[in-house]
Structure 1
Amino acid sequence: MTFHPRTLLTMTGGQHRQLHSHLFPGDGLEAAAVLLCRDAGLSDRKLMVVDLTLVPYDQCRRSPYLLVWPGQFIADAINVAEDDGLSVILLHSHPGGFRQFSDLDNESDAQVIASIFAGWGGVSPRGGHGSAIMMPDGEVIGRIYDDRHQCMAIDTVSVVGDEMRFWRNGCESSEAPMAFGADMTCELGKLHACIIGVSGTGSIVAEQLARMGFGKMTLIDYDRVEGKNLNRILNSTLSDASSNARKVDMFAKAIRGYRSDIEVVIVGQTIASREAVFAAAEADVIFSCVDSSEGRHIADRIAQAFMIPLFDMGVSIPTRKRPDGHAAIAEVIGRVDYIQPSGSTLGDRGVYTAASLRAEYLARVAPETYASQLDDGYIKGAVEEAPSVIALNMRAASAAVLEFIARAFPFRHGRNSQQARSIFALADGDEDDLGEADFQRGGILEVAVGAREPLLGLPDLGA
C-alpha cells in the first residue's frame, strides 16, 4: 500500500464543540461560521483551523434548507487571512442531515468562492479556499477550490480532542467503527502512525500497531541494536546485535515479514533533526516511546505545531536501601499521557522540565560536568546493563495503544476527558487517572503553526 498526498482539515475538540453548539441551536434552521485555516506545509495539504467566526443568527436569513448571510463577514475574513496566508472555509449546517452539498450550496459556492479569490490581493494560499457542511451528529464534509476554481473533496476531516474523529469523503456512515472488530482494522488501514523510539516500549507499540492494521508507519530512532538490548526489543536477533543493525531497519524488515499491505518509513536519526520532525509531522497519531527529556520536548512541540494527537509513556522502578545495605524494589511504575492540541502539554505536566533539558544538554556538550547528575536507567539506584523489564514495558505499551483505541473507537463507559494521564503502581496495586482539567495549560507551545521557520520555534532546527 502507498499513501498518496491527501487533503485534510483538522480542528481541536474545543473548536468542534463551539461550532456544533452554534450551528445547531435547536431551532431546526441553518446557521453559519467562517473558518480560517493554516496549511501545515507538508506533502499532504493539511489545513489546520486557527480561528473561527460564528455568524450571529439575527444577521442571517435562516430556513431549514437555505441560509443568506452578510458578505461583510467574508470580507473581514479575507482581510485577516491575507496577512498570514490563511485559507477561508465557509461552514454551514444541514439540520435535516442531508450528507451532501445541495444544488443551492453549489450555486452559492460558484459565486462566493470566486469572490474570495477575486478579493485576494496577492498570491492565493497553497491550501486554497473552500466550503463545508456540518451534520447534526457533528460530522463535517468539506471541499477545497484552487485558484482556477477547480473543486476537490477534502479526503478526511479530523477532530483531535478527548475523542478522535476521522470523517472520510464518500464514507457511507459517519459513526466510528466498533472497537476491536474488522471494521476497526479497515479504518486503521487508512491511518498513519509514527513511533518515536523503537526500543523497549517502542518496539512493543510498533508491533501492536503493525499487527492491528495501520496502513502506514513511520519509525524514528538513531540507535543500533546491541547484545544488551535483546532481552527487551521485540524482533531483535543475535545477528542484528553482531552486525550492529539500526533499530529502524531491523524492525521495518520484521514488519514486512508479516505485512505486505503496509507502507513503512524509516528515519535513522534523532527526533531532534529536521528530517525526523517532518516525518513525524506527516502522521495522524504519534507515539512517543523515548526515555529522554529532549525527545519528549520535541514530540510535544510537533503535536502542538501540527495538531496531532500524542501518546507518551514511561516506566520506572525506584529502589530503596534495606537495613543490610542491599537494594530492594520500592515501586514499579508505569505512566501514559494523552496530549491533544490546545490542551496541557507534557511540559505543563512536568514530564520534562527546564532542569532535565539542561542536564541532557550538559551530557552532550560537557559530559564531565554531567557525570554527577547521571541517571542510572530503568532501575533507580541500581546499575543494570540489561534490565529484565520487558513485562513492564509491555504493560505500559499496551496501555498506550488501548488509550488510542478508546479515543478513536470509543468503548469506555466513563469519559475520556477524565483519563488524560493514567498511572499504575504494581507493588501497591494502585491505578490512578487524572483528567485534562487536573492540569493547567501554560500556553508556551504554539498551536497550529505548521512548518513556519524556525521549525518548531527552535533555532537549532532552522533551515
Structure 2
Amino acid sequence: MTGSLTLTESQHEELQSLIFPGDGLESAAILICRYTGPDRERLIVSHVLNVPDSACTVREPDFISWPGASIEEAIDIAEHQGDAIILVHSHPGGWLQFSKVDDASDCATMPGLFAAVEDAGHFHGSAIMTPDGAMKARIYNNAGSSLQIPKIWRVGHNITNVGAIGTDPIMPFGSHMTNSFGRQTACVIGVSGTGSLVAELLARKCIGHLILIDFDTIEHKNLNRIINSTVADANANRSKTQMIAEAVRRYAPTIKVTIIDTSIDERGAVIAASAADIMFSCVDSMAGRSIAEMISRCCLIPLIDLGVTIPTRRDADGHAHIADVCGRIDFIRPDGPNLTDRGVVTSEGLRAEYLLEYAPDAAKREIEAGYIKGVHEEAPSVMALNMRAASDAVLEWIERQYPYRLDGNEGFARTLFSHAAGEVEYFSEDGFVCAPVDDMGRGLVEPLLGLPGLAQADRKAAA
C-alpha cells in the first residue's frame, strides 16, 4: 500500500511559487510521479508541470477549472513510463481539506486520466496546498474509490512531513517521536561494524520497517565488532542480516524486518531499498556507496553515509603509531552534492576496486607502478569507534526531522571527528561542487538506475 508521497525541497518551492501567484485565487499545477518499493510503498515526484493561469477559464478563491491542454500535456509525459498523475491546486484561504467542489472536480477528471494511462490498484490522484506549504493528497483506483496518502515528505536540509504543517510540533526523544518512527521505513546497507549498530539503534527507537541488506555471513573474526553476534552464529556461518533480524524480534517483535542477503548492486536489493524513507550507507566499498547515492537520487531518498578510519604512521625506527582515530558522517539530499561530488566516491577508487576483484595481478602491477594510490579501507574491528559514528549518524537523522540545532542544518552536510585531536569539524554544502545529473526522480524505470546490469532478465536477453 502506498504510504507516502515524496518531493524535494526545491520541487516543493517550485510548486508553491506556481500555485500561489499572490492574487488570492486558486491556481494549479500537475505532478508526474512514480511508484517505488516492491509493493509500491512510495510515490515520488519526477516532474512538476505548470498549469498557466491564463489557460484556466475560471479562477476563483474556491474554484478552478482544469484546462484540457495541460492535462493532455501531462498525459503525453506520463504514458511513456506509465507514470501517475497528481492534479494539484491551491487553497488560498488556508483550508487544508478537500471540498465537495474538489470531489466533483476529481470525479470529472480522473476517468480521463485512467483512460489514457492505466494501471492496477490506486494510481492517479489529486492534492491541495495551503499558503504555508502544507499539503494533503489522495490517490484513486480506476473504480473511483480514493485513499488518502498518510505522509507527504519534503526532503531538503530538513525532512518535513508537510501534511503535518500547522499541527503541534513533535518533541524529539519523546513518545510522539517514537510513534512517528513506527510509521517510517529505514534501510541499512551493510550490517557489519557500523551497520549492525545503526540497525540496533533504529530498532531500539521502534522504527516501523527495517530493511537490512548485506551479502556476507558471520565469521569468528567478526565477533568483536558486530553487536548481538555469537560463537554459535559464527560456527553456523549465519548470514549477518538473519542474525540481526532474529535479535530485533527478541526485543521488538512488532517491527517488520526485511532481509536481503545480497550485495546492494543486485536488482532485488535496489528495489527493496527504494521502499525506504531514509537510507544508511555502512559499506566499505566505493562501488556500494556509488549504488547507494544513485538510489538516493533516483528514488528521492535522503542518504546518510558513514565510515571510520585509523590511519597509522611509522617513526624513524620503523615502528608503527596511530596517527588519528576519526570518523565521517555525510548527509546527502537527493538533489544536493552527492558522495561523488564530495570526493568519497572517485573514478580512480572504483577502478582500483574493480581491478582488485577481477584482475588482482593487474592491480598489483599498477600499485607497484604508482598508478593506483591504494584503496580506502574502513577500520574493521574497533567497536567503540563504530559506536561513535553510528550514534552520530542516527542523531543526524533525528535532527533532520525534529530540528534542535541552534544554527539550523544548512552548515552540517558533513561531520568529521578526530578522537586523537579531540576535534569535531562541520562542513556545509557550499564547499562541494554539485555536478549536473539527469536521473533525479527517475524511480524504478528500466534499466534500474540506468545500469544495464540491473535490467530485467528479458531486457538483458534482448540487449
Using structure 1 for the length normalisation, give the TM-score.
Answer: 0.89
Residues 100, 201 of structure 1: alpha-carbon distance in 2 compared, 3 angstrom cutoff: same
Residues 41, 449 of structure 1: alpha-carbon distance in 2 compared, 3 angstrom cutoff: farther
Residues 445, 316 of structure 1: alpha-carbon distance in 2 compared, 3 angstrom cutoff: farther
The one-letter amino acid paired with 1:106 is: D
Cα offsets for 1:91-112 (capped at 9, x unmatched): 1122333221011111222223
State the superposition RMSD in angstroms. 2.4
The one-letter amino acid paired with 2:329 is: V
CA distance in 1, matches of 2:153, 2:53: 26
- Which of residues 33, 45, 64 is equivalent to 1:37? 33
- Which of residues 90, 99, 112 is equivalent to 2:87? 90
Tell me if structure 2 keeps the 8 A contact 1:310–1:338: yes
Give, in angstroms, the shift of residue 132 of structure 1.
0.4
Residues 174, 132 of structure 1: alpha-carbon distance in 2 compared, 3 angstrom cutoff: farther
The one-letter amino acid paired with 1:93 is: S
Residues 30, 400 of structure 1: alpha-carbon distance in 2 compared, 3 angstrom cutoff: same
Give, in angstroms, the shift of residue 308 of structure 1.
1.0
* Structure 2 gap ranges (5+): 457-463
- Which of residues 53, 75, 79 is equivalent to 1:78? 75
- Which of residues 276, 283, 302 is equivalent to 1:283? 276
Tell me if structure 2 keeps the 8 A contact 1:220–1:271: yes
Give, in angstroms, the shift of residue 260 of structure 1.
1.6
Residues 123, 103 of structure 1: alpha-carbon distance in 2 compared, 3 angstrom cutoff: closer
Give the corresponding residue for 1:162.
Answer: 157
Q: Within 5 Å, which residues of 2 pair with 1:313-462?
A: 313-371=306-364, 372=367, 375=375, 377-378=377-378, 387=381, 389-444=382-437, 446-462=439-455
CA distance in 2, matches of 1:258, 1:377: 33
Give the corresponding residue for 1:137.
Answer: 132
Tell me if structure 1 keeps the 8 A contact 2:284–2:377: no
Residues 26, 78 of structure 1: alpha-carbon distance in 2 compared, 3 angstrom cutoff: same
Give, in angstroms, the shift of residue 367 of structure 1.
2.3
CA distance in 1, matches of 2:119, 2:234: 52
**Secondary structure at the counterpart of residue 152 of structure 1:** strand
Give, in angstroms, the shift of residue 142 of structure 1.
0.8
The one-letter amino acid paired with 2:72 is: A
CA distance in 2, matches of 1:135, 1:175: 17
**Pairs aligned (count):** 448
Residues 84, 275 of structure 1: alpha-carbon distance in 2 compared, 3 angstrom cutoff: closer
CA distance in 2, matches of 1:445, 1:365: 30
**Secondary structure at the counterpart of residue 456 of structure 1:** helix
Give, in angstroms, the shift of residue 21 of structure 1.
3.1
Give the corresponding residue for 2:179.
Answer: 186
Give, in angstroms, the shift of residue 69 of structure 1.
5.3
The one-letter amino acid paired with 1:76 is: E
- Which of residues 6, 10, 22 is equivalent to 2:6? 10
The one-letter amino acid paired with 1:136 is: P
Give, in angstroms, the shift of residue 143 of structure 1.
1.3
Tell me if structure 2 keeps the 8 A contact 1:41–1:450: no
Give the corresponding residue for 1:205.
Answer: 198
Comparing 144-153 and 287-296, the one that deviates more: 144-153
Give, in angstroms, the shift of residue 123 of structure 1.
4.1
Tell me if structure 2 keeps the 8 A contact 1:39–1:126: no
After the TM superposition, list the runs of 4 or more consecutive aligned residues in structure 1 that deviate by more than 6 angstroms. none
**Secondary structure at the counterpart of residue 284 of structure 2:** coil
CA distance in 2, matches of 1:377, 1:448: 31
Matched, 1:149 2:144: yes
**Secondary structure at the counterpart of residue 20 of structure 1:** helix
